[in-house]
Amino acid sequence: MKVSAERCHHCGACVGSCPQNAIFMNDFILDFGEACNKCGRCIKVCPVGAITREE
């Protein structure tokens, strides 16, 4: 998954919604861990559309 730093508000909506607990946010850095299975819920939950699939 890819996060657009220009759009992201660091709100944590994706972190709390991730069914795999694969996203971690250390204040301003969003990390996707190995547990990510690309289900795409974070893409949907992000209020500002900051997350996309990595091509």
Residue 24 in contact with another protein, rule: CB under 8 A? yes
Binder among 2, 33, 37, 48 for another protein (CB under 8 A): 48
Question: Contact between 54 and another protein (CB under 8 A)?
Answer: no
Task: State in Å, rounded, how far the first CA of the chain is from the last one.
Answer: 9
Distance CA 28, CA 41 (A): 20
If one asks whether residue 15 binds another protein (CB under 8 A), the answer comes out as: yes
Among 1, 3, 32, 51, binds another protein (CB under 8 A): 51
Say how many C-beta atoms besides its own lie within 10 A of residue 50's C-beta.
Answer: 21
